[in-house]
Amino acid sequence: MKTLIVYGSKYGYTESCAGKLKDMIKGEVTVANAKDKIRNVEEYDNVLIGGSIYMTMPNKHVKAFAQKKTKVLLGKKVGLFLCCGGVDKFDEFLAKTFPAEIIESAHAKECFGGKMNKENMSGFHKKIVEMVEQDKSQPPMQCLEENIEKLAAKFNL
């Protein structure tokens, strides 16, 4: 079995989730950043694609990859994942990121929650994070590591 994992990440959480998925999935697994040129998608049995959400918007490279490769992806076993704070908005964010036919035919979809890696953030993003952290009416952001395992398990059957 050959698996391709394509991810889009701004500050590293989605990238780390893609790395964990790689370690959990059996067989030959390749991880690629959606902003790079990704060739030979046809060669893989499974393709897992995921990105993070900023200001309610999807990662543009992940969106472009899914759009460009829709035809080939429809013939594969596809897994979709997103990293975001708004776990309750998962379906809304999926619809913004992936074409409807890919969402409908996907073998599995999981939300991995979110993590704010403040160290590398731009000043503007850091300010937003500090504002969000001060708003105690919102539940704190959480990493849903168990959902990484859940997604991997569905590709190890």
Binding site for ligand FMN (CB under 6 A): 9-14, 52-56, 83-86, 89, 114-117, 125, 128-129
- Tell the smallest beta-carbon distance from residue 104 to ligand FMN (Å): 23
The residues, any chain, with a CB within 8 Å of residue 84's CB and separated by 6 or more, are: 52, 53, 90, 93, 111, 113, 114
User: Of 4 and 111, which CB lies nearer to ligand FMN in the complex structure?
Assistant: 111
For strand 77-83 and strand 2-8, is the pairing parallel, antiparallel, or unpaired?
A: unpaired
Minimal CA–CA distance to 83: which of 62, 56, 114, 59?
A: 114
- Tell the smallest beta-carbon distance from residue 153 to ligand FMN (Å): 22
User: Of 79 and 85, which CB lies nearer to ligand FMN in the complex structure?
Assistant: 85
- Tell the smallest beta-carbon distance from residue 110 to ligand FMN (Å): 14
User: Of 12 and 19, which CB lies nearer to ligand FMN in the complex structure?
Assistant: 12
